[in-house]
Structure 1
Amino acid sequence: MTSTNHPPVRRWAPLELTVDAGVALENPLQAGRLEATFTGPSGQIRRIDGFWDGGTTWRVRFAPDEEGRWHYRLQWQGRPDVAFTPDQGHFDCVAPAGQGLFQRHGPVRLAAHKRHLEHADGTPFFWLADTAWNGPLRATDDEWAYYLQVRTRQRFTAVQWVATQWRAAPDGDRDGRLAFTGRERIAVNPEFFQRLDRRVAAMAQAGLLSVPVLLWAVGGGTNPEVDPGYGLPEDQAILLARYMVARWGAWPVVWILAGDGKYFGDYAARWRRIGRAVFGDGPRAPVAMHCGGQQWPADELRGEPWLDILGYQSGHGDSAETWRWLVEGPPAREWGREPRLFQLNLEPAYENHVAYHSGQPHSAQSVRQAIYWSLLNAPTAGVSYGGHGVWGWDDGSGPPVDHPRSGTPLPWREALEMPAATQMAHLADCFTGLAWTALRPRPDLLVEQPGREDVTRTVLVSASDAGDLVVAYTPQPVTLRLRTAELAAGLAGTWWDPRTGTQHPLDFLPAGEEVALTTPGAGDWLLILQPRE
């Protein structure tokens, strides 16, 4: 048994251990498992998988979360002719350095009350994610750097992406490499994943949370077998997901275990088993399930110890029923049920995507409406945005692969700057400047609901328990009548224009049981009531 000492490692920064198996295995994923056990200075024990990285090379990646001396031990479980050296060692974890978001505050976790996400040091994390599903697969290094620069400027905080071949990228990455081949006994391609390692590291460096979909699972389209969450046997789906968790778990991530599925009945039972097998019950990054359009499998998944986020999808329709599902259906009704299941809208209507019902592309107005409603239909925690052309990493020559009804998008570079995408910066400025973690839905503050007859006029209102912060969104001009008896005294108002970020201050609210406030112009508006400094 040999022992290796390592240079100091910054808290929350990845440590990489490289070891030689001593033999080239025919199919390493199926041959066994390299387990690393890390013991922290306080005695905490963390067990994680290593992963095969080509030839006889295996690696372990680990981000320590406690300053002081750590000890580790590597243990192989599998074929007896495999020998790993060194198999134990230690390193010192020192204070973090640098001004990056994750260097200052650490990775992301679910807050104890399960109403929003927060960093390791307790700083709230506002989720504003972009759905760049194909981006890491198809982008060059330079293209990905440009994408991150634009989305950072637009104040996004996370990127959702797909980590294997799937229905919209059946041929894998831009060089035609597949994440895996086979079905009954899959074999992974390390070169495919090495390229994605650079994408994950670049997101962390840019201060953007990486949110990979491990197993797309829709089972639809022209070739359902290409989606690993649907096409692979259960044991092979587990092996593939564990492999990706081992590769990227040392970076700031939120895992989406399965994408676009309908998790009911026997299919839900399958995903409960997969979730338990992949994530177990130890410390880990948060885990989400991304549901199919207007699916709400809360009763099927509630109470699962590995699940942190029910990622619903209000989808790409524009019928009255579609909008009512978002503002009156399960997303608006069920957030208070116990045991609590934290929810986020991971896929509202994509900008410029052809709407299912009208056949017209979703406008910036339509997208903002879905996004702001999603921020206020439950305790405010965040929302995702999607741009047609960006998610498919398209060149503008035709619809995305296997999505003929979605319409021909702009080329991805142009699509990055679509109106609603640029307007996300105003949303971020507005909410992160407020005590957004205190907001809870308060429909009772409305004297009358303008959307009772026409859902596109629906106003959603949230407020703090203390009544010293109120936020209301109206998709159309309105005279808003609010009950004020339960609000704190001395509040002043501001109409916030979500298209430009322009603010229109109001006088202090008059004393009385209610107040009527009229939007200052056409379009949608955000009303903010709080004490004026």
Structure 2
Amino acid sequence: MALLNKSYFMNPKRLLLFSVLVLFHFFSTAQTPVHVWEMQELTLTAANSYKNPYLEVKVWVELSGPGFNKRVYGFWDGGNIFKVRVVADKPGAWSWKSGSNTNDPGISGKSGTFNAIEWTDQQKEENPLRRGFIRASASKHALIHADSTPYFAIGDTWYGMSASRYKWYDDDKERPIGPDAGFKDYVRLRKSQGFNWINVIAAFPNWKTDDKPWQLRME
């Protein structure tokens, strides 16, 4: 880049243009820090077509960070889109590089970086999940967060969550508990009562769709 002499900046229009270009470069290259335990969704677009991408394609990223170097697998998200979700478990510089079993140039060989920062104590109080994933304690008799803060589970069982009984509304309108209540309304109710988890079946129950009574009898 050629050096600009002092006379170049004597022109107000040139000075303004130069300032705008500098600011544009700064904001376009600066990275917004993310927090530890904050999910980052990486989107990859396949260059090739597949008859059954769900079965044919495996996609992943090699994720590296402070004391961490593991392969994280992703999933097909419809069309030619694949996604990988990652989190940083420690503050610092993180990087990733994608790969696939098909060596598709659209989803393989991509890379990126991000910088993770810690949550403040106040932010952790506002949302305890910011303390990290829940795991068993050393004694295996209790649950703790990643930062060793105790986790006391108060839960509910929603085995039919994926059925029509728990209606889904895209809006955030609050509806009274009853026939018109949706999934979000039940979450709000349990949250207001101090619950912090729900137990579900990751499948589609066939209640009231197979001409069998929904009451089960064990004899």
Q: What TM-score comes out, normalization by structure 2 length?
A: 0.69
Q: Which structure has greater helix proportion?
A: 1
Select the residue among 177, 183, 187 that pairs with 1:144. 183
SS in 1 for 2:190: helix
Instruction: Give 1:328-477 correspondences, 5 Å limit.
Output: 403-405=214-216
Residue 83 (structure 1) shift: 3.3
Q: Conserved in 2, the CA contact under 8 Å of 1:36 and 1:74?
A: yes
Residue 135 (structure 1) shift: 2.2
SS in 1 for 2:62: strand
**Equivalent position amino acid for 1:89 in 2:** G
Contiguous gaps of at least 5 residues in structure 1: 171-221, 224-400, 407-533
Partner of 2:70 in structure 1? 46
**Equivalent position amino acid for 2:157 in 1:** T
Partner of 1:84 in structure 2? 107
Partner of 2:198 in structure 1? 159
1:6/1:60 CA distance change after superposition, 3 Å: farther
Q: Does 1:93 align with 2:116?
A: yes
SS in 1 for 2:154: strand
- Range that drifts further, 82-91 or 93-102: 82-91
**Equivalent position amino acid for 1:140 in 2:** W
**Equivalent position amino acid for 2:150 in 1:** P
Q: Does 1:119 align with 2:145?
A: yes
Partner of 1:370 in structure 2? none
SS in 1 for 2:184: helix
Select the residue among 59, 76, 101 that pairs with 1:34. 59
Deviations 1:53-90 (A, max 9, x none): 0101000101111100011111111x355632661121
Q: What TM-score comes out, normalization by structure 1 length?
A: 0.30
SS in 2 for 1:17: strand
**Equivalent position amino acid for 1:149 in 2:** R
Deviations 1:11-34 (A, max 9, x none): 101001101011232211211210
SS in 2 for 1:54: coil
For residues 198 and 136 of structure 2, the distance between their equivalents in structure 1, rounded to whole angstroms, comes to 17
Q: Does 1:72 align with 2:96?
A: yes
For residues 33 and 100 of structure 1, the distance between their equivalents in structure 2, rounded to whole angstroms, comes to 34
Superposed CA RMSD: 2.6
**Equivalent position amino acid for 1:41 in 2:** P
Q: Conserved in 1, the CA contact under 8 Å of 2:135 and 2:145?
A: yes
1:145/1:32 CA distance change after superposition, 3 Å: same
Deviations 1:212-267 (A, max 9, x none): xxxxxxxxxx79xxxxxxxxxxxxxxxxxxxxxxxxxxxxxxxxxxxxxxxxxxxx
For residues 36 and 30 of structure 2, the distance between their equivalents in structure 1, rounded to whole angstroms, comes to 17
Contiguous gaps of at least 5 residues in structure 2: 1-28, 173-181
1:69/1:38 CA distance change after superposition, 3 Å: same
Q: Conserved in 2, the CA contact under 8 Å of 1:108 and 1:117?
A: yes
For residues 146 and 76 of structure 1, the distance between their equivalents in structure 2, rounded to whole angstroms, comes to 40
For residues 148 and 81 of structure 2, the distance between their equivalents in structure 1, rounded to whole angstroms, comes to 37
Deviations 1:89-114 (A, max 9, x none): 211011125321212x2221111210
1:30/1:6 CA distance change after superposition, 3 Å: farther
- For these two proteins, the number of residue pairs brought into alignment is 172
Q: Conserved in 1, the CA contact under 8 Å of 2:46 and 2:105?
A: yes
